Structure 1
Amino acid sequence: MNMEKLPSYVRMLKDDAGEQFDPGVVVSEMDKGLAKMRVGQSRVVVQVTATLFFRTRVDSQAFEDWYFNEIRRIGWFDWRDSRTGQARSVRFKGGDIGKLLPLASQYGKAQRSVTLEYLR
């Protein structure tokens, strides 16, 4: 089975990109002194915020077709992490691809803000 890839016509803008993760630590508060901590999860979910940019109206429509027909809203796909250069298997957090915002008249250029997630 081949893994889908983020389509090549989708550009990721770096202006508002970011990365965070829940450390997966369990904290037990103590009556006195510092809280005790232990690792609660062997792997953590990393979330990467990004803006997807579409150069044409055709590209934004093609992306929606890919989203609904290829990954079926919740599927995993390959994405090259621009920070590390690694290929990662990611999905859209909650299946959400955000609001399509026009940057030119009649959506000639457009963007979507998304959050990608993967297990580290």
Structure 2
Amino acid sequence: AFTASRSGTFVAQNGTPSAGTASLGTDEDGTNFLRFGSDFVTELGTGTVTIYLSTSDTFTADPGNGNPDLRLVGIVDSNGESFYKFNSSVDAKFSHVILWCGSANIPFGYAELK
């Protein structure tokens, strides 16, 4: 069973329909996951939507060094409930989930985790 420790609701950006809930938590084995709720939707027709944890609601790329304020989670492959597994613990500094469309170079939405 998944137990949420922090969760938030997506705020849509750039005219996308992004909405729904995101939760950080663990399963019964203590494995860390990011869960998108069954109410999750975003724009999937533009190509790849990438999920990041962030220390703010703003995506700041730093390709030369890698931005320590971002952590790549994975790729959105469908609307609705999804689980994204972490192989290590999630630093408490990460306060937001960001949906980033690399092909358009714009954010599709963010959720503040509380």
> Structure 2-normalised TM-score?
0.29
Q: Which has the higher relative contact order, 1 or 2, with Cα contacts under 8 A spaced 6 or more apart?
A: 2
More helix by share: 1
> Structure 1-normalised TM-score?
0.28
